[in-house]
Copies of this chain bind each other. A is one copy, B any other.
Amino acid sequence: MNSSNPRIHSVTVADVAREAGVSKATAARVLGNYGVVSEKIRGDVLAAAKQLDYRPNELARSMTTGRSGIIGVVVGDIENSFFGYAVRGISDTARSAGFNVILANSSEQIEMEKAAVRVLIGKRVDGLIVTPSESRDISHLREIHRSGRPLVLLDRALPDFDVDTVTVDDSKAAQRATEILTACGHRRIAYITAVDFAGHEYKDLGQIYTSSVRERIEGFMTACDIAGLLPSDRLIMLGATTPQATADITDKLLSRSNPPTAIIASDSVIALEIFKVVRQRGLRIPEDLSLITFHDADWTTVTSPPITVVDQPAYILGQTVAELLIRRLKGEARPPARIIVPTSIIERGSVAPPLDQDKPRTRS
């Protein structure tokens, strides 16, 4: 407690009421913009408010109304520009509907995600938008839902949790990206993704607890199967959660006696690291290695060559998820919606037929 510190005493409705010579209730009516007040009184109160420089205390307002006007957003990694755009989409939509956004970062760690949710609930946010970092432990999400607060999932669906969800067509997108590579003649393709799992080697889908990751792997495998690739030639690498981990995975992959001739990256942060490793090894894109990444990050247009990408409409994703939440907040009652936003592939210059797919490549 600060005794010496002069407490900031802000102007309250009571102060304005006194100044205007009306009751607190009446002043509150004009200041809070509800109920009916005569024009004359309204003018008096407004004048008094201006004179005293009254600023409503949203906290107090929230307490009685039960509404805070805040939407809580828990996202995996704000530094990832995919989330950056999504958050921007959320913020813009929220603001134009009169809501504010409070943002938390989970660093893709379930414990931080849980902590963030707890804090946000404590702040009495009106609703939440979450990108669940894994689908095994979702007790905290169930709890949000049970508490009656609307929840919308962003980018990742939870199979056995039926709640509003907005994702992209991950499976289809991965399949199409892979088909571009197989059509080009690639027979040994790696898919590098960031799911957090001990051990980077993929064994089976049972390990994958994040829907988007699982769906992409399914799409990838489907395309590989259609093209008749050997199971041993579809290289699925998990655990690219940090730049270092990604570099290690890429290094290991390219050091094999039979390295892949093409790589698909599950996000642009991973792709950037792959690009660096590849160049450091003196390999050329696309001659020595083809590369496709999810998310049309800005840097993908200025590399030489520019990178072929799966364009996920991140901003629209954010917009959509916010709209869904706000509609619920406004009382819309309907069964949970699962919206799938389509992606498209932007072909640039990072895909070419493999030079010689059976021998390891060295710098020519």
In the assembly, what is the distance between CA of A168 and CA of B32, in Å?
43
For residue A6, give the distance in angstroms from its CB to the closest CB of chain B.
7
Interface check A276, CB cutoff 8 A:
yes
Does A78 contact B68, Cβ atoms closer than 8 Å?
A: no
Closest to A104 in B: B100
**CB nearest neighbor in B for A92:** B105
Within 8 A of B (CB), among A20-56: 55-56
Residues 280-302 (chain A) with a chain B CB within 8 angstroms: 298-299, 301-302
Q: How large is the interface on A (under 10, 10 to 19, 20 to 34, 35 or more residues)?
A: 35 or more
Q: Is A63 a contact of B66 with CB atoms below 8 Å?
A: no
- Chain B contacts for A279, CB-based, 8 A: 302
Whether A198 sits at the interface, judged by CB under 8 Å, is no
Separation in Å of the A357 CB from the closest CB of chain B? 26
The minimal Cβ–Cβ distance linking A292 to chain B, given in whole angstroms, is 16
A136 contacts the other chain (Cβ, under 8 Å)? no
A276 to B59 alpha-carbon distance, docked (Å):
47
- Confirm or deny: A87 has a beta carbon within 8 angstroms of a beta carbon on chain B: yes
Closest partner residue, chain B, to A115 (CB atom): B95
Residues of chain B within 8 A of A331, CB atoms compared: 2, 5
**Contact status A100-B123, CB under 8 Å:** yes
Could you give, for residues 100-121 of chain A, a 1 whenever the CB lies within 8 Å of some chain B CB and a 0 otherwise? 1111110000000000001101
- Which residue in chain B gives the minimum CB-CB distance to A80? B84
**What's the nearest-Cβ distance from chain B to residue A62, in Å?**
5
Q: Are A276 and B301 in contact (CB under 8 A)?
A: yes
- Which of chain B's residues has its CB closest to A10's CB? B147
Contact of A100 among B66, B101, B102, B301 (CB under 8 A): B102
Measured in the bound complex, the distance between the Cα atoms of B299 and A272 in whole Å is: 8
A57 to B148, CA, bound (A): 15
Closest CB in chain B relative to A50 CB, distance in Å: 14
19 contacts between A and B (CB under 8 A): A7-B66, A8-B147, A55-B122, A57-B63, A57-B122, A59-B123, A70-B102, A70-B123, A78-B84, A79-B85, A100-B104, A101-B102, A101-B103, A102-B103, A272-B298, A272-B302, A275-B302, A299-B303, A303-B304
Q: Using CB atoms and an 8 Å cutoff, list the residues of chain A in contact with chain B.
A: 2, 5-8, 10, 55-60, 62-63, 66, 68, 70, 78-79, 81, 84-85, 87-88, 91, 100-105, 118-119, 121-124, 147-149, 272, 275-276, 279, 298-299, 301-304, 331
